[in-house]
Structure 1
Amino acid sequence: MTTDHHAASTHPELSITRSEAGAGRPVLILHGGGGPATVAGLSQHIARTAHAITPVHPGWNGTQRPEWLTGIDDLALAYLHHLQDRRLRDVLVIGSSLGGWIAAEMAVRDTAGTITGLVLIDAVGVHVETEPITDFFALDARRAAEHSWHDPDRYHVDPADLPADELTRRQGNMATMRTLAGAPYMHDPKLLRRLGRVQVPALLVWGESDRIVTPAYGAAYADAFADGTLEIVARAGHLPQIEQPEATMALIDAHFHRTGAASAVPR
């Protein structure tokens, strides 16, 4: 794990804690509200064939969140500037849940062409009139599991059974998520109509049993992109990379090879 001190042109210095592994095409992997553990397996898989960059969002897992960082747009710009300051090109950005929202916001702001592919995994971030996002903050642990997992009995954890430090970590993560994404709830009202300007191929991977954001929500999200594709993962909920890793990784691997500079060679 490394810490990078990044100064964006419009913001004070931002400290980005991140892990990096592997070599080749850069792949930025953005976790959701559950923290970096939810994408750890995905990062390990990507690092076998590419350069996996996995940040911890400021405020998660006890990391520092500066006072000016109050919205997902701030985070999206910070990560975009980080890639550009490092002169990284041909970047695939993968985001799970909240991380998918950050990835979409990065793409609409990427005027330099840094990003050449997107993967959004059960992403939040847009408003779909007919498919409202479930208020996760209003759910108790059991109902949260039922909304999040295809097999809730396997993944449900009673908070009373957690060690004190783990409970504190989870509560801190939720508090940060509420600050960054709580109002309006889990979306940017302007984002859906802006996605049509995003020309890079976007793969939207969705668990068929997700009740936080439904597959129909995912279909509307995919349709908003200029080049969006929706793939449904059977027997998975909000985190298919955990419930069905092989099926999820296969979809991402195929998209990795379809996008980027190597795939754009003239015939």
Structure 2
Amino acid sequence: MQRSTNVKPSTVERLALSGGTLRLITAGDGPALVYLHGTGDQGSLLPVFATLAEQYRIVRPDHPGFLQSDDFRPAITSIAEIAAVHEQLLDELGIDEFVLVGCSLGGWVAAELALRIPHRVRRLVLIDPVGLAGDGSAPNLFDLTSEQALVATVHDEGRRAAARSAAPDPQVAAGLARSRAAAQRLAGDPYMHDPSLAGRLGSLALPVELVWGDDDGIVPVSYARFWLDALPQAHLTVVPDAGHLPHVEQPQAVRDVLTREAPAWS
């Protein structure tokens, strides 16, 4: 089947909520797909989601205190509170049901959001998520140099070389620094997990997809088993030749996961 090329351009807007203003990117029409980003996200709509705008309404917010969203008042003190802000955002946008996708730290936020409003989440897709204690083999991101973080995140050496040679964008650099500081404050101790999360996930009865890059040096693929233990209904897809961001390095493989066996929407 030939895909339509009539994809609406993305729109960047700011939406005032109780406590502050969120920046968000939206694109497309149809059933909603909400993407929650990780710490290293540069604040743009990734190509995999731009193509999905052919069939979904893509909603990609910056977390409160990350990238170009406001620092909320009162101050956000936990990942669960980020999820509460995104619930408020969805209410404001009038989105009752949606596919929920989260990567890395955004995967943890997505899990917390699904726990808050499971009746509204049609499908939960977690891409190389943090949030569970795991086996202790993951490096502490906040202890890594920029070069070490690049090697741990990106599988392909060509992409690493391109990242090293790219001219720095001051706005992107400032957003990344903000995100890193916020993540360290909210998830630095205990490092990138909530000891209570695994036990709480058992209440989720909705469909869950786990997607993991086989060469993830930030959250090793061995961590997937802890998510499978907590979410026995989950289906795991390991993406070859991909690091911590398989939806960037192997977008078609992740697109296939996001579009297969999509639930019927009324």
TM-score category of the 2 structures, normalised to the smaller one:
0.7 to 0.9
Q: Pick which of 243-252 and 160-169 moved more.
A: 160-169
Aligned counterparts of 1:97 and 1:38: Cα–Cα separation in 2: 16
RMSD (Å), alpha carbons: 2.2
> Deviation above 6 Å: which 4+ runs of structure 1?
none
Match of 1:92 in 2: 99
2:113 corresponds to? 106
| Cα shift at 1:242 | 0.9
Within the candidate set 13, 20, 36, 1:30 is matched to 36
Give 1:135's match in structure 2, choosing from 134, 137, 140: 140
Distance (whole Å) between structure 1 residues aligned to residue 29 and residue 166 of structure 2: 42
- Which has more helix, going by share of residues? 1
1:207-254 deviation per Cα after TM superposition (whole angstroms, max 9, x unaligned): 000021111101221331142111000000100011111111111111
Aligned counterparts of 2:167 and 2:15: Cα–Cα separation in 1: 35
Q: Where in structure 2 are there 5+ consecutive unaligned residues?
A: 1-11
The range that moved more, 64-73 or 150-159, is 150-159
Question: Size of the alignment, in residue pairs?
Answer: 253
User: Which deviates more, 197-206 or 148-157?
Assistant: 148-157
Contact 1:122 1:206 in 2 (8 A): yes
Which range moves more in the overlay, 221-230 or 83-92? 83-92
Q: Which residue does 1:224 correspond to in 2?
A: 230
2:58 to 25, 40, 52: 52
1:73 corresponds to which residue?
Answer: 80
Q: Hey, what's the Cα distance between the residues in 2 that align with 1:168 and 1:76?
A: 23
The Cα offsets for residues 120-153 of structure 1, whole Å up to 9 and x where unpaired, read as: 000111112x244320111112211221121245
Identical-residue share of aligned pairs (%): 30
**Aligned pairs for 1:151-190 within 5 A:** 151-152=156-157, 154-155=159-160, 157-158=163-164, 162-190=168-196
Q: How does 1:243-258 map to 2 (within 5 A)?
A: 243-255=249-261, 257=262
SS in 1 for 2:15: strand
Using the TM superposition, give the Cα deviation of residue 163 of structure 1 relative to its aligned residue in structure 2, in angstroms. Answer: 4.9
- Structure 1 match to 2:47: 41
Change (3 A) 1:163 1:82: closer
| CA distance in structure 2 between the partners assigned to 1:173 and 1:80 by the alignment | 20
| Alignment equivalent of 2:149, drawn from 144, 165, 182 | 144
| Structure 1 range deviating more: 24-33 or 13-22 | 13-22
Q: 1:171 to 1:158 in 2, by over 3 A?
A: farther
| Residue segments in structure 1 that go unaligned for 5+ positions in a row | 8-12, 263-267
Structure 1 residue aligned with 2:3 = none
What residue is the counterpart of 2:7 in the other structure? Answer: none
Q: CA deviation at 1:116?
A: 1.5
- SS of 1:15 mapped into structure 2: strand
Q: Which residue of 2 aligns with 1:4?
A: 15
* SS of alignment partner, residue 202 of structure 2: helix
- TM-score, length of structure 1 as denominator length: 0.86
Q: Deviations over 1:42-73 (max 9, x none)?
A: 32122110111110112223432124212211
Worse-matched range after superposition: 206-215 or 173-182: 173-182
Q: Do the aligned partners of residues 167 and 79 (structure 1) sit closer, same or farther apart at CA in structure 2, a change above 3 Å counting? A: closer
Q: Distance in 2 between matches of 1:187 and 1:260?
A: 33
Tell me, what secondary structure is at the counterpart of 2:260? helix
1:161 CA drift (Å): 5.9
Mapped contact 1:203–1:229 kept (Cα < 8 A): yes
